[in-house]
Chain A
Amino acid sequence: MKFKYQLLLLSLLIISIKSVSAQEIKSYNFNELEPIFHYQNDTTYVINFWAMWCKPCVEELPEFEDIRKDYTDKKVKVILISLDFGKNTEDRLLGFLKKKNINAEVVLLDDPDANSWIGKVDKNWDGALPATLIYKKGIRKVFTRQISYDELAGSIDKLNNQPN
Chain B
Amino acid sequence: MKKVLILGLFIVAAIGIQAQGYQIGDKAKDFKLKNVDGKQISLADYKDAKGFIVIFTCNHCPYSVAYEDRILEIDKKYKEKGFPVIAINPNDPELYESDSFDNMIVRAKEKGFTFPYLMDETQDVFKRFGATKTPHVFILSNKSGEYTVEYIGAIDNNYKDASQVTSTYVEDAVDALLQNKKPETTSTKAIGCGIKTKG
Contact = CB atoms under 8 A, between A and B. Distances in A.
Bound together: yes
A55 B192 CA distance: 13
A86 B66 CA distance: 10
Contacts of A55: 95-96, 196
Contacts of A129: 133, 191-194
B157 A115 contact: yes
A124 B17 CA distance: 12
A31 B188 CA distance: 19
Contact of B132 (A113, A115, A128, A154): A128
B154 A115 contact: yes
Contacts of B95: 55
B181 to A, nearest CB: 21
A145 B13 CA distance: 12
B111 interface: no
A115 B194 contact: no
Contact of B191 (A53, A86, A118, A145): A118
A51 B62 contact: yes
A112 B95 CA distance: 27
A131 to B, nearest CB: 8
Interface stretch (B69-77, B158-166, B172-180): B158-166
A51 B65 CA distance: 15
Nearest to B65: A53
Contacts of A145: 194
A16 B60 CA distance: 38
The prevalent SS among residues of B at the interface is loop
Contacts of A119: 189
Residue with the greatest number of chain B CB neighbours at <10 A, chosen from A56, A85, A112, A144: A112
A145 B132 CA distance: 10
B159 A112 contact: yes
A164 B158 CA distance: 41
B3 interface: yes
Contacts of B18: 124
Given A114-B189, A129-B193, 19 more contacts: A53-B62, A54-B194, A85-B62, A85-B160, A112-B157, A112-B158, A112-B159, A113-B158, A114-B190, A115-B154, A115-B157, A119-B189, A126-B190, A127-B132, A127-B154, A127-B189, A128-B193, A128-B195, A144-B132
28 contacts: A53-B60, A55-B196, A56-B196, A85-B160, A86-B62, A112-B159, A112-B160, A112-B161, A113-B157, A114-B159, A114-B190, A114-B191, A115-B153, A115-B188, A115-B189, A116-B157, A119-B189, A124-B18, A126-B132, A126-B133, A126-B189, A127-B132, A127-B191, A127-B192, A128-B133, A129-B133, A144-B194, A145-B194
The 7 closest A-B pairs by CB, nearest first: A114-B191, A128-B133, A118-B189, A112-B160, A128-B194, A115-B188, A112-B158
